[in-house]
Amino acid sequence: MPPDEPNNTRACERHPSSAVVASCDACGRSLCLRCAVPVRGRVYGDECLAEIIGGDLVAPPVPPARWRRPSSPAIGVGFAIAAIATLLPWQRFGQGAGFLGAYGLAPRYSLFCAVAALVGLAVWGSFAIRTARPGRWWLPVLRTCGTLVVVTAILHVLRPPSIGPASVGPWLAMCGGLIATVASFGRSVIREPSRIRQTL
């Protein structure tokens, strides 16, 4: 048998049932096919590989998960529109026909719409200034608030609390709620893990 060929009659030290295919060029340990790691024309065991390769084997740290603040500013814009709409007239005649129209009416749909718009805007704003990724509850809250704004504005138009048709307030709130609701279903969390290259 030539001297440079491994002795297949020996057994691997880690896997006794496997035949030896090579010897570690660093420590001389008998290596089977599972233990032998070819590197730059030589063969090493995994315990010697880190010493031989050095820093090449160390993978760069994986960057933390990146997240886009609440699914773009569209959610905040939608709730801001709905909140501004509560300041406008909600009725053409009678109660709610002036400034702060949503708040001047009896506690009906307009008031619920105003509360939902303000809560949605506050929740969005609290997460828009954060740098850490929030929990999973904030998107359902925003979606619920946006849906409530739309539903209560529609109900106000269909069942006005006083004589006369609805004014511009509920229609604008409806548009803002739709914008916030649709945007809240957009993609909000983006994670792009970097590919780790190991150069042997």
pLDDT tens-place string over residues 145-183 = 999 999 999 998 888 877 778 889 999 999 999 999 998
> What's the pLDDT score for residue 5?
47
**pLDDT at residue 91 tops 70:** yes
**Which has more confidence, 45 or 132?**
45
Domain residue ranges of the chain, discontinuous segments joined by +: 1-60, 69-184
CA 15, 19, 21, 26 torsion: positive or negative? positive
- Return mean pLDDT, the chain: 77
Annotation: CATH topology of 1-60: Cysteine Rich Protein (2.10.110)
Hey, which of 46-50, 84-88, 156-160 has the most confident mean pLDDT? 84-88
Residue 1 vs residue 181, higher pLDDT: 181
pLDDT value at position 126? 84
Give the pLDDT score at 143: 93
pLDDT tens digit sequence for 112-141: 999 999 999 999 888 877 666 666 788 899
Rounded Cα distance, 117 and 95, in Å: 21
